[in-house]
Homo-oligomer: A and B are copies of this chain.
Amino acid sequence: MADWTLHVLIDPKQVPLDGVDNLCRALRDGGATVAQLRGKHSDGGELIRYGEAFRRATRDTGILFIVNDRVDIAMAVQADGVHVGQDDIPVEVVRRLAPNLIVGLSVGSEAELRVAERARPDYIGMGPVYPTPSKDDAGEALNVDGFRRLCLRAKRLAPVVAIGGIQPDNAKPVWESGADGIAVISAVMGAPDKRAACFALLASRG
C-alpha cells in the first residue's frame, strides 16, 4: 500500500542534478513519502537526466517517485507513477500506455471530480486549498470549507492529497478535513532545512 502522507514537488530548476541524492535523503529523513518531478519549463533531455537521478535516489531511500505530466519520461526512467492534470493526457490513455504506473489526477471542482469518477485514478491531487502563486495553471482556491466538502466525496473514490499553499502553520485544518496526504512545493523547497520543513508539516497533523 502506497503511503500518500507527504508529497514534495520538485522542479529541476530548484536543485542541481548532483544535489538530488542529498535532497532525497533530507526528504526521507523528514518523513516525506512521495517525490514528484514537475518540470513545466524543462526539455525532455533535462527531465530524463533528473528522472534517472530521482529514480536512483528514491529507490535508495524508499520514497515513491512520480513524474508530472510526461508519461514518456515516467516510462523511460521507470518511475512509480505519473501525475496528470485535467488538461493532460487522459487517465485511460495513460493506463493503455503504461498499465503498471500509479496514476494521480488533479481535481479542483465538482466537474473535475466527475471526470475522476469516470477515470478512476489511483489517487487524487485536490486543490488549490489555499491561494498560491506557484501553480500557474491552478484554479481558484477551494479554501478549507470547499476542500472539506469536495474531499469528503472524493475519498470514496481514491486517497486524496491536498495541494496549494499548504505550510506548517495552515496545514492542521487540511488534515482535519480528511486529507490522506498533503503536497507541497515552496513549504519544503523554499526552506533552507528541508528535513525540518517536512517534519514541521507532518507535526501539524497533531
Contact = CB atoms under 8 A, between A and B. Distances in A.
Contacts of A60: none
Nearest to A98: B72
Closest 10 CB pairs of A and B: A72-B72, A71-B72, A44-B89, A43-B87, A44-B88, A45-B87, A76-B93, A43-B88, A76-B97, A45-B88
A146 interface: no
The A interface is mostly helix, strand or loop, or mixed, namely helix
Measured as residues with beta carbon below 8 angstroms from the partner, the interface class of chain A is 20 to 34
Identify which of A72, A73, A89, A93 gathers the most chain B CB atoms within 10 Å of its CB.
A72
A96 B76 contact: yes
B90 A48 contact: yes
Given A70-B72, A76-B96, 8 more contacts: A43-B85, A43-B87, A44-B69, A45-B87, A48-B89, A48-B93, A71-B72, A72-B72
A154 interface: no
A75 interface: yes
A195 B72 CA distance: 34
A141 to B, nearest CB: 21
A84 interface: yes
Contact of A73 (B76, B85, B87, B89): B89
B48 A75 contact: no
A45 B75 contact: no
A73 B72 CA distance: 8
Interface in A80-130: 84-90, 93, 96-97
